[in-house]
Amino acid sequence: MRIIRTVDYKDMSRKAANVISAQVILKPKSVLGLATGTTPIGTYKQLAAWCAKGDVDFSQVSTYNLDEYRGLSHEDVQSYHYFMRTNFFDHINIDLANTHVPDGSNPDADAACREYDRMVAEAGYPDLQLLGIGRNGHIGFNEPGPYFSKGTHMVNLTESTIKANSRLFDSEDQVPRQAYTMGVQTIMYARSILVVANGEEKADAVYRMCYGPVDPQCPASILQLHTNCTVIADEAALSKCPRA
């Protein structure tokens, strides 16, 4: 694992955007695995700014998002479909037909998840997978549990995740209780992984991801076994980790 310490959120976002830009410049037809959440918003903004200047070109890129709430339409403002359009895709020169998010509007969990696995496999898996990390060490919606998950599957969200995500809804009751998520095994198939993290509330999870035992009780800890994983995190998120 490569760990890059940044002074603050802005620095984290610029460095992460640099890594993603380099990937796309080196391979214009890159397959990117993408994440939602608050952490990557600055990275997406920076990439959009560079794209507007002509410094990075997404016209041949295809993307596969990690997860989506079950039961929300693609137009629902709380859906990850909507999040990706408004925070990223609408601001870059990507072909929307090349962007993919699990189909949360399909109530048939097995069919929706099987179809997503088929599409990700057919694309050859991401060249670069961008990840955030939950306070409990989750990646995608792969919550702590007795084993590491495999392919795309439906999950029941934990109380802590529902609570954390409720800040984006009017009330906790409105947070969907289920989601479809890429599995940990699929995430590990990516040829490179970039984790972004900021803020003190992520410090425990970041420590366990980088230095704890590889344990499904902290799903992100498996990233220690990936051969090309980079963590870009600010001082606060790395405050519990030893300085290299």
Q: Which residues are catalytic?
A: 67, 136, 138, 143
Q: Is the dihedral angle over the CA atoms 145, 154, 43, 124 positive or is it negative?
A: positive
Look-up of token digits 């998950």:
149
Q: Which two tokens stand for residue 124?
A: 């050859």
Interface residues for ligand F6R in 16-35 (CB under 6 A)? 35
Closest CA to 24 of 130, 170, 111, 152: 130
Q: According to CB under 6 A, which one of 139, 190, 229, 238 is a site residue for ligand F6R?
A: 139
> Per rule CB under 6 A, is residue 13 in the interface with ligand F6R?
no
> Per rule CB under 6 A, is residue 36 in the interface with ligand F6R?
yes
Binding segment toward ligand F6R, per CB under 6 A, in 12-20, 21-29, 71-79, 129-137: 129-137
Q: According to CB under 6 A, which one of 8, 27, 38, 110 is a site residue for ligand F6R?
A: 38
How many chain residues bind ligand F6R (CB under 6 A)?
A: 13
Cα 112 from Cα 136, distance rounded (Å) = 26
> Per rule CB under 6 A, is residue 140 in the interface with ligand F6R?
yes
Closest CA to 161 of 137, 185, 184, 194: 137
Closest CA to 131 of 86, 192, 210: 192
Q: According to CB under 6 A, which one of 15, 70, 138, 153 is a site residue for ligand F6R?
A: 138
Q: According to CB under 6 A, which one of 33, 102, 126, 132 is a site residue for ligand F6R?
A: 132
The answer to whether the CB of 64 falls within 8 A of the CB of 33 is yes
- Binding region for ligand F6R (CB under 6 A): 35-39, 66-67, 132-134, 138-140
